[in-house]
Structure 1
Amino acid sequence: MSESTNTGVIDKTAIRDAATIILLRQTAHGPDVLMGQRGAKAAFMPDKFVFPGGAVDTTDADIPVTMPDPCRARLAQAHDLPDALAAAAIREMWEETGLMMGLPGDWPDAPADWQGFAAHGLRPSAKGLRFIFRAITPPGRPRRFDARFFLADAGAITGDLDDFSAACEELSHLHWVPLAEARKLNLPFITEVVLAEVQAFAAGEDMPDTVPFFDNSTGVSTFRRIA
């Protein structure tokens, strides 16, 4: 949704589309999840540990990605450009961690924001993404997002999973956390909820055919599932 008002002033409390990736890698002690900490002076969720992610940019709609049909169909129920959400998730993870989710391929016409990605001989790929959760930030917060959470296996990443040298400074303390211990961190409420879902999947429970949706678009919190 647009942040602009009829006065031309940006309304930073308007609901913006956003996308996040919960990246898991398998280890000898079980799955680890990638998390980082937001700055103490951040306007939104200061000091909290979160997954890589952020708001959708207008240019994300122009990025060619391929996404599994069930995920794309569910995303399309509430978004005209579902592929833009997947592109945003991949871009935000790359910017915030330096990790790239893509497949080999020339991309000579890559937009300016993606030229560093293309320079590695990659094109973004959403084949490894699974849409598992949606949540809208409640009213009264300094920033509000309509966030879609994607689950992905670290095997979809190209390069060294421990190399965060190309990350921007938005997240600090980037590290792999044992999934079983992640909920002990300083987390936003919704991140705790999503982690509980992911832990259930990792423990062997079947992933449901519907996607949980915490709808806080109004003053009344509503929970439902996206078929």
Structure 2
Amino acid sequence: MDKVSTAGTPVDKTAIRNAATIILYRRGAEGTEVLMGQRGASAAFMPNKFVFPGGAVDAVDATVPFACGPDPVCAARLAAEAEQPLVPALLAAAVRELWEETGLILGVPGAWPTPAPRGWRGFAASGHLPSAEGLRFVYRAITPPGRPRRFDARFFLAPATRVAGDVDDFSRAEDELSLLQWIPLTRARSFDLPFITEVVLGEVAALTAHDAPPDGVPFVRNDDLVAGIRRLR
């Protein structure tokens, strides 16, 4: 049976789906650390790989109220080559996936103006509204043809200081990722990583050294018409 989205419609597994990935970082004893976890051995997409939290955009993500939006540079770069309603949905998906896969909250205390939709009820029950403040859009990549799942993924970078609560408490995480841990950038490549994750880590090493937005966003395009890399500015 096809997987069903939170909107109740079947998901086409062969289509390129919009997705959001979030890279949380902090300063540790060995320098900059990033939060990663291991996908299950039975996962259809990237089994056993260590990845950043992330996943496909759900239809309800476009309806989520934000306490704080992203900075203008992030919003403008997200809007490049994307329909405007997709911008808040991508940001919301990043926040939701972090919550689902790690139990960590990117949000501020507040009550939702209307009942939270399916997929967001646990987040809302925590007493927080999602926040995109501090998120930086730093990478975009389309999964190459021939894979069991294909995504047009936007990667967001955020400091762990934006998390509400204990950044080492993963007790509320769902079971999609195991071995959740903060990994020093100097040792990240010793883990079993997808190729695109290794590439993104190269960008992250430079970007976490300062808080300025990146000089353009690398876009790895592997759709059915074009293959290559360029920068969104």
> Offset at 1:28?
3.2
Aligned length: 222
1:164 alignment counterpart: 170
> Offset at 1:84?
0.5
1:41 alignment counterpart: 42
For the residue of structure 2 that corresponds to 1:100, the secondary structure is coil
How do 1:48-197 residues align onto structure 2 when only pairs under 5 Å count? 48-65=49-66, 66-80=69-83, 81=85, 82-109=87-114, 110-197=116-203
- For the 8 Å contact 1:138–1:219, the answer to whether it is kept is no
1:196 is aligned with what amino acid?
Answer: G
- For the 8 Å contact 1:31–1:178, the answer to whether it is kept is yes
The separation in 1 between residues aligned to 2:124 and 2:11, in whole angstroms, is: 32
The separation in 2 between residues aligned to 1:29 and 1:186, in whole angstroms, is: 20
Deviation above 4 Å: which 4+ runs of structure 1?
203-207
Q: Assess, with a 3 A threshold, how the Cα gap between structure 1 residues 204 and 103 changes in structure 2: closer, same or farther.
A: closer
Length-normalised TM-score, structure 2: 0.89
> Offset at 1:9?
7.5
- For the 8 Å contact 1:139–1:219, the answer to whether it is kept is no
**Aligned pair 1:214/2:215, yes or no?**
no
- For the 8 Å contact 2:136–2:213, the answer to whether it is kept is no
2:231 alignment counterpart: 225
1:84 is aligned with what amino acid?
Answer: A
The separation in 1 between residues aligned to 2:93 and 2:72, in whole angstroms, is: 18
Identity %: 62
- For the 8 Å contact 1:67–1:83, the answer to whether it is kept is no
1:150-191 residue CA offsets vs partner (Å, 9 max, x unmatched): 000000001111111111111111111112111211000000
1:23 is aligned with what amino acid?
Answer: L
> Offset at 1:221?
2.1
For the residue of structure 1 that corresponds to 2:21, the secondary structure is strand
> Offset at 1:121?
1.9
For the residue of structure 1 that corresponds to 2:120, the secondary structure is helix
Length-normalised TM-score, structure 1: 0.91
For the residue of structure 2 that corresponds to 1:128, the secondary structure is coil
> Offset at 1:27?
2.0
The separation in 1 between residues aligned to 2:197 and 2:80, in whole angstroms, is: 23
The separation in 2 between residues aligned to 1:219 and 1:201, in whole angstroms, is: 30
Deviates more, 1:11-20 or 1:217-226: 217-226
For the residue of structure 2 that corresponds to 1:158, the secondary structure is coil
> Offset at 1:76?
1.0
Cα-Cα RMSD: 2.1
Unaligned runs of 5+ in 1: none
